[in-house]
Structure 1
Amino acid sequence: MKKSLLALAALGAFAGVAHAQSSVTLYGIIDEGFNINTNAGGSHLYNLSSGVLQGSRFGMRGTEDLGGGLKAIFVLENGFDVNNGKLGQGGLMFGRQAYVGLSSQFGTVALGRQYDSVVDYVGPLEVGDQWGGYIAAHPGDIDNFNNTYRTNNTVKYTSANYNGLTFGGTYSLGGIAGNVTQNQIWSLGAGYNNGPLVLGVGYLNARTAGASGGLFNDGGTIATNTAKTATAAASYAVTSPVYAGFASANTYQVIGAGGAYTFGAATIGATYSNIRFGNLGATFASPYKGQSATFNNGELNFKYQLTPALLIGAAYDYTRGADIAGASRAQYHQGAIGVDYFLSKRTDVYVTGVYQHALGDTLSSTGGVQAATASINGITPSQNQNQLTARIGIRHKF
């Protein structure tokens, strides 16, 4: 009996050590607010919406110390709508992130649904990932800086931090029998964060992004002779008129770079992206079959920490559209302002306003030339060249 009690005590002590070397954290964000949209398909719209400044989410992350500096890691994270309780990302249970991997002094390798390198290294430098929220992201989030599209079936490497320098890359298998390139996605990036200076560069290449299971549409797509028609589950079909007419491309490519410098309470930043849609008509019909189209985007942003609790910001963004034979290039001018007041470390209230003006011509989702219309990211597009949206919201982190 005495030996049994000693054995149980030893096992209990061992279990306590094992528990101390492992951890699981539950976390989340609830972001809710009231919006005004001056032109939602031709009418004013007043509504509540969830997850603008940051996507509302609930997640779990964990680590286990395996010894010798090696750790097992995992993240499971869903998105949801506060107003109706529905899951985000097309109803996926863990639509934001879902991965498992190993981490050591040489970096981290993870497998699952993850973010690409443009999102990781350049995205945080645009205003949409800061005080502006997704409505202040670039038109249609055309360069994915705001993480509209996640990558499935992804192998990802992230380096250790070398005096502020980090780098990494991803490779996503298409999963199509007999075709190793369809739906294939890969990316590379690097970042530097040391003192007042932050820099980031990234490259993203996605094959057949508009096809069923592709980057733009991992819920599935049905193609017709003139345009794609999304099924009910196809939550990622491109609806933004900024580039819906170019989503038939065989290759979607983004080259992005950005930087920021902080002096005192002020931070000034800038981003640039070059977006190329190569070989139109590869995934659904286009009258411009075989041609390619290039967009360019530039942003300047500024923020100032008036007090430890009060932040103000302003930004200007310019998008130059692709050249279309017989039409003028689309142009999108966008300005944003914001105020964020922190009631505590976990709770803040904010106000954001975004105005966009469109010029020129672009391709419609059916492939025809149409006048460019204002399309602030994430909201119902305007029916004319102008659109203004304003939001007052509250965010709580737990």
Structure 2
Amino acid sequence: MNKLVMTGATTMIALAGAAHAQSSVTLYGLIDAGLTYTNNQITGTGSGHSNWQMTSGAVQYSRWGLRGAEDLGAGLSAIFTLENGFNLNNGQLSSSNRIFNRRAYVGLSSRDYGALTLGRQSDSMVDFVAPLSLTGTEFGGTHFAHPLDNDNLNDSFQINNSVKYTSPNFAGFKFGALYGFSNQAGAFTNNRAYSFGMSYVWEALNFGVGYLQLNSSARTPGQLNTNGAVTDTTGASLQGALAPTGVPLGVLASSQKTFGLGVNYTFGPAVAGFVYSHSKLAQFFQTGLSGTFQNFEGNFRYALTPAVELSGAYTYSRAGGNGGGGIPHWNQLSAMADYRFSRRTDVYFQGAWQRVSPSGTSPLGVAWINGVSAPSSTTNQVEATVGLRHRF
């Protein structure tokens, strides 16, 4: 009898332990493929030509990933995410030297105290401001980004070596902060990053604000701390206009300070929003010059039916600084229509028109819609894409 009781007790303890340590791993992903027309792209001779091409990630970058959680009890969980971006056209990784180039982190999440994670992660502009801009959502995406994605609302680069805290939801209020280490001995600030932000949701109103700062001692690619916080390209790589291909704006300046805020208001099947962002670069790329980008975006979404969603945005952006040679400003109109076959599969048609003026002698004096493979040879550029997305 005693042996039976002991066996039963042992079984109950084992079952309790199994229930206590429940864990899960989920495979997920998104595939975005399309056909894109661009009216004017620079060729090797400098003249502009139209381009018909197959594209991957015209709205959202194609990706796959693994996410997991283990229940540690008392509302505490161990969590991880590993996410890879890829080019659907040829199957290549988006980044040649990274398996999980979009996200790679592990941490602890508490129901009462929030989440603390370590690894390669997105900054607070992406977390708190981007969802209020069409470029940061499935309703606009890559081509809707502000010029050169200068505020990173399209999540063009992530932060390496980062420690990140995200609070729980306090009656609609959330906040978070991130710090990315330089990982360089004797040069604590050479290619480091830090960011913080917050959001508040009250009934139909959704508000968010964020800040991102990058610091670097680099002035040329050879001086770049390649083990530091930021080593990606910006969304539309500058390709020699201001900096070499593959090097982000902020890392070739002594600092980049980006601030943004946004608000959305929902009424019935419609959502209207406004986003403002400001990026300041100091002592940029061997020139000692400083410059700024300001972006003003108004956006609108309307659910025509449960299956059909219409969206559009107007963005006015302007550059400033002591570079001379004509200070450019941009006007961009973007629109998209989306039809959902199911919760996971949809087709879309979207397009964007951009005009930059005045050109002066500024290297930014030609149009360049974000995500288009080459800039225009003039001050105007148009792109149109028809595409298919599938989520799993």
The aligned residue for residue 115 of structure 1 is 122
Percent identity over the alignment is 41
Runs of 4+ off more than 4 Å:
2-12, 226-230
Match of 1:145 in 2: 153
Change (3 A) 1:31 1:382: same
- Name the CA distance, whole Å, in 1 between partners of 2:293 and 2:142: 20
TM-superposed CA distance for 1:128, in Å, is 1.0
Q: C-alpha separation between the residues in 2 aligned to 1:30 and 1:116?
A: 24
Cα contact 1:254–1:274 (8 A) shared by 2: yes
User: Offset at 1:295?
Assistant: 1.6
**Shift, 1:18, TM fit:** 4.9
Please give the TM-score of this superposition, normalised by the length of structure 1. Answer: 0.86
Shift of 1:10: 6.1
Deviations 1:143-195 (A, max 9, x none): 10110010000000000100111001000000111011111100010011232
Match of 1:172 among 167, 175, 180: 180
Please state if 1:69 is matched with 2:75. Answer: yes
Which structure 1 residue ranges, 5 or more long, are not aligned?
220-225, 231-235, 239-243, 364-368
Of residues 353, 357, 365 in structure 2, which corresponds to 1:372? 365
Query: What is the deviation of 1:102?
Result: 0.7
CA separation of 1:192/1:309 partners in 2, compared to 1, >3 Å: closer, same or farther? same
Could you tell me which of 53, 56, 64 is aligned with 2:62?
56
What CA deviation, in whole Å up to 9, does each residue of 1:296-315 have, x standing for no partner? 11000011100011001111
1:290-369 matches, within 5 Å, as 291-361=289-359, 369=362
Aligned equivalents of 1:194, 1:362: Cα separation in 2: 46
CA-CA distance at 1:6 after TM superposition: 7.1
- 1:118 is paired with a residue whose SS is helix
How many pairs were matched up?
A: 368
Distance in 2 (CA, whole Å) between partners of 1:76 and 1:352 is 30
Tell me the secondary structure at the aligned position of residue 295 of structure 1. Answer: strand
For 2:242 and 2:261, how far apart are their aligned partners in 1?
A: 33
**Aligned partners of 2:70 and 2:92: how far apart in 1?**
32
Q: Tell me the distance in 2 between the aligned counterparts of 1:78 and 1:247.
A: 23
The answer to whether residue 100 in structure 2 is matched with residue 94 in structure 1 is: yes
Shift of 1:217: 3.0
Deviates more, 1:62-71 or 1:2-11: 2-11
Q: How does 1:221-236 map to 2 (within 5 A)?
A: 229=244, 236=246
Q: What amino acid is aligned across from residue 274 of structure 2 in structure 1?
A: A
- The answer to whether the 8 A contact 1:113-1:150 is kept is yes
Preserved contact between residue 212 and residue 218 of structure 1 (Cα < 8 Å): no
> Hey, what does 1:223 align to over in structure 2?
none
Identify the range of structure 1 (42-51 vs 303-312) with the bigger mean alpha-carbon deviation.
Answer: 42-51
User: Equivalents in 2 of 1:139, 1:200: separation in Å?
Assistant: 21
Structure 2 counterpart of 1:381: 375
Residues 209, 341 of structure 1: alpha-carbon distance in 2 compared, 3 angstrom cutoff? farther
Which residue of 2 is the match for residue 36 of structure 1?
37
2:20–2:73 Cα contact (<8 Å) kept: no
Distance 1:342 1:362, change over 3 A: farther
1:216 positional shift = 5.5
Moved more, 200-209 or 183-192: 200-209
Measured in 1, the distance between the counterparts of 2:67 and 2:364 equals 46
Return the match for 1:217 from 231, 251, 255: 231
Distance 2:363 2:105 in 1: 42
User: Is 9-18 or 192-201 further displaced after alignment?
Assistant: 9-18
Residues 86-133 of structure 1, C-alpha deviations (whole Å, 9 max, x = no match): 111344111111000011111110000000001100011111122112
Q: 1:47 to 1:11 in 2, by over 3 A?
A: farther
Any conservation in 1 of the 2:128–2:208 contact (CA below 8 Å)?
Answer: yes
Output the TM-score relative to the length of structure 2: 0.87
Separation of aligned partners in 2, 1:206 and 1:362:
29
Q: What residue number does 1:241 align with?
A: none
Structure 2 CA distance for partners of 1:150 and 1:209, relative to 1, 3 Å:
farther
Report the alpha carbon displacement of residue 280 of structure 1 after superposing the two structures with TM.
2.5
Q: Which amino acid aligns with 1:353?
A: G
Alpha-carbon RMSD across the aligned residues, in angstroms, is: 2.4
CA distances 1:233-283 after superposition (whole Å, capped 9, x unpaired): xxx424xxxxx6x863100110100010011111110100111001234xx
CA shift, 1:346, in A, is 0.6
Correspondence for 1:23: 24
Query: Structure 2 counterpart of 1:183, which letter?
Result: N
State the shift of 1:228 in Å: 5.8
CA contact (8 A) 1:209 1:252 kept: no
Q: Is the 8 A contact 1:302 1:315 kept in 2?
A: yes
Counterpart position of 1:264: 268
Shift of 1:378: 1.4
Query: What is the alpha-carbon distance in structure 2 between the residues aligned to residue 59 and residue 265 of structure 1?
Result: 32
The 1:10/1:313 distance shift into structure 2, 3 A limit, reads: same
CA distance, structure 2, for counterparts of residue 204 and residue 121 of structure 1: 11
Structure 1 residue matching 2:278: 3-state secondary structure: strand
Deviation of 1:52 after TM superposition, in Å, equals 2.2
Q: Secondary structure at the match of 1:120?
A: helix
Structure 1 Cα separation of the partners of residues 193 and 70 of structure 2: 30
Match of residue 221 from structure 2: none
> Bigger CA drift: 125-134 or 98-107?
125-134
Gap runs ≥5 in structure 2 = 43-47, 219-223, 234-240
